[in-house]
Amino acid sequence: MSKTIQCDIVSAKELIYSGVATIVIAHGVEGDLGIMPGHTALLTQLAPGPIQVVHESGEVDFYYISAGFLEVQPNLVTVLADFAERAKDIDEASAEAARKAALDMLHNQQSDLDTGAALAALAEAAAQLRTLQQMRNRAGRG
């Protein structure tokens, strides 16, 4: 059995990553999933949050996705995301400002529609910040 699996992370606009990994960790709607070579076929929905791609060297690349699907085939993991970016490209100040704006929207809501939009914005901002935190925590292990 191979020690690596091909991983592709694709957003609606572009291919974000294509390469091999020893493990891919994604944030599913029912919890985190770790996909290693030899994993059984799977199709699942992903929640906003981090994707970790672990390379043979042990180096880890972090990506953020807004939502999407993860498909596992015998030799391929595909992440199909509405929006995806490298974690190092996330603007932390903007994510924190978006989180605060979403909290303000929740406190000043006037309808159920306002509540839904505020909760969605809050989830996305929180997921971006969680992605940055995981990347920092991993880097701190050094």
For residue range 60-108, what is the model confidence (pLDDT) as tens digits? Answer: 999 999 989 999 998 999 999 999 999 888 888 888 888 888 888 888 7
pLDDT on residue 142: 43
Residues 6+ positions from 78 with CB-CB distance below 8 Å: 7, 8, 10, 70, 71, 72
In the chain, domain spans: 5-87, 90-140
Residues 6+ positions from 96 with CB-CB distance below 8 Å: 125, 129
Asked if the model's pLDDT at residue 135 lies above 90, the reply is no
pLDDT on residue 118: 82
pLDDT on residue 80: 97
Q: Which residues pair with 133 in a beta bridge?
A: none
Question: Residue range 17-22: average pLDDT?
Answer: 96
Measure the CA–CA gap between 142 and 124, rounded to whole angstroms: 28
Measure the CA–CA gap between 17 and 34, rounded to whole angstroms: 17
The percentage of residues in the chain with a pLDDT greater than 90, rounded to a whole number, is 56
With contact defined as beta carbons under 8 Å apart, do 44 and 61 qualify? no
CATH number of 5-87: 2.60.15.10
Pairing relationship of beta strands 76-81 and 68-73 according to DSSP bridges: antiparallel
Mean residue pLDDT across the chain:
89
CATH fold of 90-140: 1.20.5
With contact defined as beta carbons under 8 Å apart, do 44 and 68 qualify? no
With contact defined as beta carbons under 8 Å apart, do 105 and 124 qualify? no
DSSP single-letter state for residue 29? T
